[in-house]
Structures are given as C-alpha cells and as structure tokens.
C-alpha cells in the first residue's frame, strides 16, 4: 500500500516486498552455438536447416549476420537465398545443442539462481534485493561469465520486469551492432519503478535509450 509523505504525495513503502524477474533469451541459439563450435562459420550469414542436401525446406534458425541481411526463421530456403545469396546452409546438430545448453546455465547459476528453464534457449530468474537495486550490473556479470567461460559467440538478451511476460518483451530478437571481443553484448531491459508504471529499454551497444509504459512498444 502507498503511504503519504510530508508533501502530501503518495509513495510506496520501502518495507514493501518487491518482485522483479529476469528473462534470459539466447540470441539465435542454434546458429550461435554452431559459430562457437565451428570457426569457419564465424562472421558469416548462417542458416540452420533440418538436414543437409536439400533446399526444399525452411531455415529453422539463423545467425545475427543472416538476420541483418533479411533472413528470418521459418523462411523457405529458396527465399532466404534470394535475399542473401551467400547464406551458408548448415544442418542442425541436436546433440551439440543439448550439450551446449548446459554450459551457459552453469555460468548463470554462478551469478543468480534460475527460477525456471522455459526452453533450450530461454529461462527466467528471480532477483534478490541487491540485484533489484542494480539490474544492469547483474546483466553485465551474467554476460561476462558466458563470454569468458562459454565463448563470445553464444550471446543472450536480458529483460527485467515485475513479471515474466513483460520481462520477455524487453529482450530484443537480436542486436545489429558489430560484435567486439571486449563487449558484453546487447542487454535490453525493462526496469520497472516502484509504482510499476514506468519502464526503460536500454541497448548497451548504442548510446540511445527510450522510455515506455508497460504495454507500450519500446523503440
């Protein structure tokens, strides 16, 4: 419940228990794992396909380089090659992805407990009081551990909000900024205020930041 301060304005009691959830979404997980495991694919537009030797299928996942060229998930291979003629088609490696799934999770657990694993490339965490005060620092620690102990090509986007659905909105599909070895990669966040009526979107790869209310579209 809000209290009234000396100026007659309502404010939220500091004794109120806040809950903030983080949504962690790995960027183009299948393609990024392939780039981390196979150096010949690094820096190239990669489209993952169910199996090799056919073009009568669709792209099931694509790298950041492919996305920046207009390739999308579930796009027919013929259309993907039309928009990106030098697209590298790579057959999926399910066993590799299952093994790779555990590595970044181990690094995240070293920073913050995982509340739920939603899929092979998505999970949620509940923030403690210290992390609520500085979610950007938390995101930086998670990204640095993944970069240093898993590899720079397996990246993630992180959103913060009062509940999972809103936190997931904060995670972008990908960041087009060039990868730098010293970068912790893109962190997009919705950090709610005490009244949960104001949120912010931050891309750490660019200097711009915009504000939006929950339910509005961040730019």
Pair 197, 208: CB distance under 8 Å: no
Helix (H, G, I), strand (E, B) or coil at 209: strand
Which of the residues are catalytic? 122
Q: Which residues pair with 24 in a beta bridge?
A: 123, 158
- Beta-strand runs (E) in the chain: 2-4, 10-12, 21-26, 46-49, 58-59, 61-62, 75-76, 88-91, 116-119, 122-126, 156-161, 199-202, 209-212
Backbone angles phi, psi at 67, to 5 degrees: -60, -40
């Amino acid at each position: 419940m809000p209290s009234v301060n000396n100026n007659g304005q309502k404010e939220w009691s500091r004794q109120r228990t806040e809950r903030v959830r983080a949504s962690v979404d790995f960027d183009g997980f299948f393609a990024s794992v392939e780039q981390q495991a196979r150096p010949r694919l690094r820096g190239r537009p990669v489209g993952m396909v169910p199996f090799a030797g056919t073009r009568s299928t669709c792209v099931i996942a694509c790298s950041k380089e492919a996305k920046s060229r207009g390739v999308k998930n579930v796009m027919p291979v013929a259309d993907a090659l039309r928009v990106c003629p030098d697209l590298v088609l790579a057959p999926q490696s399910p066993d590799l992805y299952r093994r790779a799934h555990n590595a970044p999770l181990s690094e995240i657990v070293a920073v913050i407990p995982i509340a739920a694993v939603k899929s092979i490339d998505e999970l949620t965490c509940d923030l403690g009081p210290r992390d609520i005060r500085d979610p950007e620092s938390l995101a930086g620690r998670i990204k640095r551990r993944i970069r240093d102990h898993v590899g720079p090509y397996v990246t993630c986007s992180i959103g913060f909000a009062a509940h999972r659905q809103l936190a997931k909105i904060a995670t972008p599909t990908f960041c087009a900024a060039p990868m730098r070895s010293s970068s912790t990669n893109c962190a997009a966040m919705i950090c709610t205020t005490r009244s949960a009526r104001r949120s912010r979107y931050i891309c750490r790869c660019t200097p711009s930041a915009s504000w939006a209310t929950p339910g509005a579209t961040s730019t």
